[in-house]
């Protein structure tokens, strides 16, 4: 009964994904074409013949609608086409190069954020309205308010330049180069998750079923871990879906500052160069990842919350 | 020795508006095997009194006084000592069965953890006992249904589960805080009947908090009437029902619809509202709503007692009772108050 409910839910959500993706592709396709300039404007003074040849090769001479349907057909086959700017590279290859790096950094950052954030949030909730609660939550507020592009240079300045303990930038799959970007990305998420967890935990601790658990004579540890933690985490889980998707697809700012060849940096380059296929490819890929993670969250949510599990169908 | 002996209990809550005094200077005791009903309208402090004794007050609440359970003061215990008693020797069931079970855990998980913790049973044994207990409270298909979640149970069934869960460790004392209030009338009767049967089988003591006088008449040995955080009258169920002494008790009894009275007769309602617990009047708390109010009611009312343990707190003399020291609300009167209790026993 339990399995069936989950499977049905999964199937209905999957079918719902198709129109979402279609809308995403359509809007971003026409939006990028609206932007002034084109992919070959930077190559100065190309003779009109060469330009016409280039455009013919990439089908840019066809009517916009024809291009749109051609693109749709390719996307269905998971082919995002050749990059206009990185000659000899297809967009698929570029994504395959950049995504593992971004996903590693983002995934680790989210993992760190989840554990640190939940730990801090529970700690603060259990010491509600004491000095340690206010201190921790004050720091968390700072963590949310200070932007990445301030934190990252500060970390580099202190730990890499003054301290000399870590490399300032670059990428080579070692922990030394990963540490700073992961921490930079994780900090605001830690702060956000800590605040979310604290509020949620305080609410749960006031509920009648926690009073019942206490009246049963269970030790406080059991009350917190067994009875209170799961409902506390529900809002955190629903935040984690889109947040994870955003982190693993690469932070434009952080990858820039630490010179990391991730997906985010390709996205910026693509947008600046009017590299239509690259931008589109990254956007669609990003969209799929977001949808995927929301889908995972929906399933997790249903799995965690027995009351949703049986009321599925919406 | 009484099973539970509460002396000078005070419960206060710090709120942004000031200190709310929910329970003042409360004394009572419960004998083994006895069923004590605590009645009074909402806000009389019935529930908060029991929460204080069980260590379940909200964090802005404070309890003073003593609550001796078999001679050990529940109010002075460490969390560990208290946890050894809660759910084990003293079980509590609550007013709202819809929200008192954890919606994220199966009935099985919630029931077995009690005996696994207190009795150190293995999961299988604990499960077998839980199923047996569910059958005892007449949950159909207990073997199957124990695997379900609370939302798959009706309100009445959830309260049965709460009762079953409370009885797993064979407690000596069951505290039931309005166990049937949130339920349909027919279900209410079933739950009351169930509690009565289980009491006979298990021989436990019961404190029943309620504002339903019909339930009280049904199962209580003794009745304690509370008003604005104080006991106004206490006595055997018969005395309270057939010979109420305090005007508030009389008002409560008159407000119950009865078949043996003409139906065109208006139901009696006690006029007005209970006093503001933030700012209790000096003197009798009930005087503004009392038909018998007089000038002397501006002073703290005297307490009357007789040798049967009957008690009334009113300026009106209690039939056959002796006047004891005026029992004010200040802590300075507590010494004389407990002294008079000792004289009596």
Please give, one letter per residue, the 3-state secondary structure of B103-158.
CCCCHHHHHHHHHHHHCCCCHHHHHHHHHHHHHHCCCCCHHHHCCCCHHHCCHHHH
Task: State the pLDDT at residue A4.
Answer: 65
The Cα-based distances of B159 to B56, B184, B198, B206 in angstroms read: 19, 12, 14, 16
For residue range A104-124, what is the model confidence (pLDDT) as tens digits? 999 999 999 999 999 999 999
Task: State the Cα–Cα distance between residues A288 and A76, nearest whole angstrom.
Answer: 12
A positions 127-146 inside 8 Å of B (CB): 128
DSSP string, chain A: -HHHHHHHHHHHHHHHHHHHHHHHHHHHHHHHHHSSS-TTSSSTT--HHHHHHHHHHTTTTS-HHHHHHHHHHHHHTT---B-SSSTT-BHHHHHHHHHHHHHHHHHHHHHHHHHHHHHHHHHHHHTTTSHHHHHHHHHHHHHHHS-HHHHHHHHIIIIIIIS-SS-SS--SS-HHHHHHHHHHHHHHHHHHHHHHHHHHHHHHHTSHHHHHHHHTT--HHHIIIIIIHHHHHHHHHHHHHHHHHHHHT--HHHHHHTT--SHHHHHHHHHHTT-HHHHHHHHHHHHHHHHHHHHHHHHHHHHH-HHHHHS---
Residue A304's nearest CA partner among B153, B97, B102 is B102
A positions 69-108 inside 8 Å of B (CB): none
Strand partners, B73: B68
Length of chain B: 345
Strand partners, B23: B11
User: Tokens 């070692």 — which residue?
Assistant: A174
CB neighbours (10 Å) of residue A168? 17
Contact B151 A216 (CB under 8 A): no
Are A193 and A117 spatial neighbours (Cβ–Cβ below 8 Å)?
A: yes
Task: State the pLDDT at residue B91.
Answer: 94
A45 phi, psi to nearest 5 deg: 55, 35
From first to last of its 345 residues, chain B has per-residue pLDDT tens of 789 999 999 999 999 988 999 999 899 999 999 999 999 888 888 999 999 999 999 989 999 999 999 999 999 999 999 999 999 999 999 988 889 999 999 999 999 999 999 999 999 999 999 999 999 888 999 999 999 999 999 988 999 999 999 999 999 999 999 888 777 888 888 888 888 888 888 889 999 998 888 888 888 999 999 999 999 999 999 999 999 999 999 988 888 777 676 666 677 788 888 888 888 888 888 988 888 888 888 888 888 998 888 999 998 888 888 888 654 444 344 334 443 444 433
Inter-chain CB pairs, A–B, below 8 Å: 78
- Closest-CA distance of chain A to residue B57, Å: 9
Q: Does the residue A281 lie in any domain?
A: yes
Quote the pTM value: 0.83
- Closest-CA distance of chain B to residue A190, Å: 26
Are B113 and B121 spatial neighbours (Cβ–Cβ below 8 Å)?
A: no
Contact B99 A214 (CB under 8 A): no
Contact A214 B79 (CB under 8 A): no
Q: Does the CB of A305 have a partner CB in chain B at under 8 Å?
A: yes
**For the purposes of burial, counting CB atoms within 10 Å of the CB of A229, is it exposed (0-12), middle (13-18) or buried (19 or more)?**
middle
What is the number of structural domains in chain A? 1
Q: In a mutagenesis test of the B interface, which of A128, A216, A311 is the best target, namely the one with the most B β-carbons within 10 Å?
A: A216
Contact A217 B162 (CB under 8 A): no
- Closest-CA distance of chain B to residue A220, Å: 9
Are B55 and B128 spatial neighbours (Cβ–Cβ below 8 Å)?
A: no
Task: State the Cα–Cα distance between residues B209 and B38, nearest whole angstrom.
Answer: 5
User: Tokens 């006093």 — which residue?
Assistant: B275
- Closest-CA distance of chain B to residue A222, Å: 10
Q: Does the residue A63 lie in any domain?
A: no
Q: What is the ipTM of this complex?
A: 0.86
- Closest-CA distance of chain B to residue A138, Å: 23
Q: Does the residue A60 lie in any domain?
A: no
Taking contacts as CB-CB distances below 8 angstroms, the residues of chain A near B207 are: none
Contact A219 B80 (CB under 8 A): yes
Task: State the Cα–Cα distance between residues A162 and A266, nearest whole angstrom.
Answer: 31
Task: State both tokens at B68.
Answer: 């001796």
Residue-number span of the structural domain to which A204 is assigned: 96-304
User: For residue A127, what is the domain's CATH number?
Assistant: 1.10.3720.10
User: Tokens 């160069």 — which residue?
Assistant: A273
Task: State the pLDDT at residue B332.
Answer: 40
Taking contacts as CB-CB distances below 8 angstroms, the residues of chain B near A211 are: 56, 94, 100
Taking contacts as CB-CB distances below 8 angstroms, the residues of chain B near A230 are: 104
Task: State both tokens at B176.
Answer: 């039931």
Contact B86 A217 (CB under 8 A): yes
Are B169 and B90 spatial neighbours (Cβ–Cβ below 8 Å)?
A: no
Task: State the pLDDT at residue B333.
Answer: 40
Nearest to B88 among A212, A217, A305 (CB): A217
Task: State the pLDDT at residue A209.
Answer: 96
Nearest to A208 among B55, B91, B96 (CB): B96
Q: Does the CB of A230 have a partner CB in chain B at under 8 Å?
A: yes
Q: Does the residue A182 lie in any domain?
A: yes
Q: Does the CB of A126 have a partner CB in chain B at under 8 Å?
A: no
Task: Give the architecture (CATH level 2) of B4-224.
Answer: 3-Layer(aba) Sandwich (3.40)
Residue B151's nearest CA partner among B95, B110, B98 is B98
Task: State the Cα–Cα distance between residues A194 and B263, nearest whole angstrom.
Answer: 62
Contact B56 A304 (CB under 8 A): no
Q: β-strands B303-305, B311-313: how paired?
A: antiparallel
Task: State both tokens at B198.
Answer: 């289980």
Task: State both tokens at A3.
Answer: 């399995």
Task: State the Cα–Cα distance between residues A107 and A111, nearest whole angstrom.
Answer: 6
B174 phi, psi to nearest 5 deg: -115, 125
Contact A227 B102 (CB under 8 A): yes
**Quick one: closest CA in B to A205, which residue?**
B58
Show which residues on chain B lie within 8 Å of chain A, measured between beta carbons. 54-56, 58-59, 79-80, 82-88, 91-92, 94, 96, 99-105, 113-114, 117-118, 149, 151-152, 162, 165
DSSP string, A29-72: HHHHHHSSS-TTSSSTT--HHHHHHHHHHTTTTS-HHHHHHHHH
Nearest to A212 among B55, B100, B117 (CB): B100
**Quick one: closest CA in B to A128, which residue?**
B59
Task: State the pLDDT at residue A2.
Answer: 55
Q: Is the dihedral of CA B276, B282, B288, B292 positive or negative?
A: positive
Annotated domain spans of chain B? 4-224, 244-344
For the packed helices A91-126 and A229-248, what is the interaxial angle rounded to 10 degrees?
150
- Closest-CA distance of chain A to residue B99, Å: 6
Task: State the Cα–Cα distance between residues B28 and A23, nearest whole angstrom.
Answer: 71
Q: Does the CB of A296 have a partner CB in chain B at under 8 Å?
A: no
Task: State the Cα–Cα distance between residues B88 and A144, nearest whole angstrom.
Answer: 46
- Closest-CA distance of chain A to residue B283, Å: 35
- Give rounded-to-5 percent helix, strand, coil for chain B: 35, 25, 40
Q: In a mutagenesis test of the B interface, which of A217, A223, A234, A305 is the best target, namely the one with the most B β-carbons within 10 Å?
A: A217
Residues (pLDDT < 50) of chain A are 1, 311-314
Q: In a mutagenesis test of the A interface, which of B81, B83, B104 is the best target, namely the one with the most A β-carbons within 10 Å?
A: B104
Instruction: Categorise residue B6: left if φ over 0, alpha if ψ from -120 to 50, beta otherwise.
Output: beta
Contact B118 A217 (CB under 8 A): yes
Q: β-strands B322-324, B303-305: how paired?
A: antiparallel
Contact A307 B56 (CB under 8 A): no
- Please tell me what DSSP assigns to residue B86: B
Task: State the pLDDT at residue B63.
Answer: 94
């Amino acid at each position: 009964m339990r399995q069936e409910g989950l499977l049905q839910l999964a199937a209905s959500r999957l079918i719902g994904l198709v129109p979402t993706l279609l809308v995403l592709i359509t809007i971003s396709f026409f939006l990028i074409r609206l932007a002034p300039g084109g992919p070959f404007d930077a190559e100065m003074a190309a003779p009109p013949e060469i330009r016409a040849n280039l455009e013919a090769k990439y089908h840019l001479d066809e009517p916009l609608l024809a291009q749109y349907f051609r693109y749709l057909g390719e996307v269905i086959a998971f082919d995002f086409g050749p990059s206009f700017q990185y000659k000899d590279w297809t967009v698929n290859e570029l994504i395959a190069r950049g995504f593992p790096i971004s996903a590693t950094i983002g995934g680790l950052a989210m993992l760190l954020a989840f554990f640190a954030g939940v730990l801090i949030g529970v700690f603060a909730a259990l010491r509600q309205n004491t000095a340690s609660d206010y201190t921790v939550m004050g720091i968390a507020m700072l963590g949310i308010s200070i932007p990445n592009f301030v934190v990252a240079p500060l970390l580099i300045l202190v730990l890499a330049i003054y301290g000399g303990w870590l490399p300032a930038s670059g990428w080579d799959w070692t922990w030394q180069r990963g540490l700073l970007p992961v921490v930079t990305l994780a900090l605001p998420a830690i702060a956000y998750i800590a605040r979310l967890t604290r509020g949620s935990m305080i609410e749960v601790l006031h509920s009648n079923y926690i009073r019942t658990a206490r009246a049963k004579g269970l030790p406080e540890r059991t009350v917190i871990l067994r009875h209170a933690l799961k409902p506390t985490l529900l809002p955190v889980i629903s935040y984690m879906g889109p947040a994870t998707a955003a982190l693993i697809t690469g932070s434009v700012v952080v990858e820039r500052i630490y010179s990391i060849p991730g997906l985010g940096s390709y996205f910026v380059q693509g947008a600046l160069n009017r590299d239509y296929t690259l931008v589109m490819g990254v956007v669609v890929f990003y969209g799929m990842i977001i949808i995927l993670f929301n889908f995972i969250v929906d399933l997790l949510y249903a799995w965690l919350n027995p009351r949703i599990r049986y009321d599925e169908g919406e | 020795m009484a099973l539970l002996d509460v002396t000078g209990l005070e419960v206060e809550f710090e709120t942004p508006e000031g200190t709310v005094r929910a329970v003042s200077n409360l004394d009572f005791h419960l004998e083994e095997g006895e069923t004590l009903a605590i009645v009074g309208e909402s806000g009389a402090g019935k529930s908060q009194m029991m929460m204080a004794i069980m260590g379940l007050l909200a964090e802005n609440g404070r309890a003073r006084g003593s609550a001796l359970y078999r001679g050990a003061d529940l109010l002075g215990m460490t969390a560990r000592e208290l946890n050894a008693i809660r759910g084990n020797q003293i079980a509590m069931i609550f007013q709202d069965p819809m929200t008192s079970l954890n919606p994220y855990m199966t009935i099985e998980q919630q029931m077995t953890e009690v005996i696994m913790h207190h009795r150190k049973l293995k999961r299988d044994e604990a499960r077998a006992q839980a199923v047996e207990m569910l059958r005892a409270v007449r949950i159909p298909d207990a073997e199957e249904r124990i695997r379900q979640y609370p939302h798959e149970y009706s309100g009445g069934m959830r309260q049965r589960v709460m009762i079953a869960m409370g009885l797993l460790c064979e407690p000596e004392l069951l505290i039931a805080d309005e166990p049937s209030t949130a339920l349909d009338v027919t279900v209410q009767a079933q739950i009351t009947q169930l509690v009565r049967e289980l009491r006979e089988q298990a021989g436990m003591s019961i404190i029943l908090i309620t504002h339903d006088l019909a339930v009280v008449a049904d199962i209580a040995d003794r009745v304690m009437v509370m008003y604005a955080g104080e006991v106004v009258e206490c006595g055997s169920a018969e005395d309270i029902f057939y010979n109420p002494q305090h005007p508030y008790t009389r008002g409560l009894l008159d407000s119950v619809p009865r078949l043996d009275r003409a139906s065109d007769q208006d139901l009696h309602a006690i006029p007005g509202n209970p006093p503001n617990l933030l700012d209790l009047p000096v003197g009798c708390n009930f005087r503004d709503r009392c038909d018998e109010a007089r000038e002397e009611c501006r002073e703290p009312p005297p307490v009357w007692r007789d040798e049967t343990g009957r008690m009334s707190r009113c300026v009106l003399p209690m039939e056959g009772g002796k006047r004891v020291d005026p029992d004010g609300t200040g802590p300075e009167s507590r010494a004389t108050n407990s002294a008079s209790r000792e004289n009596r026993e």
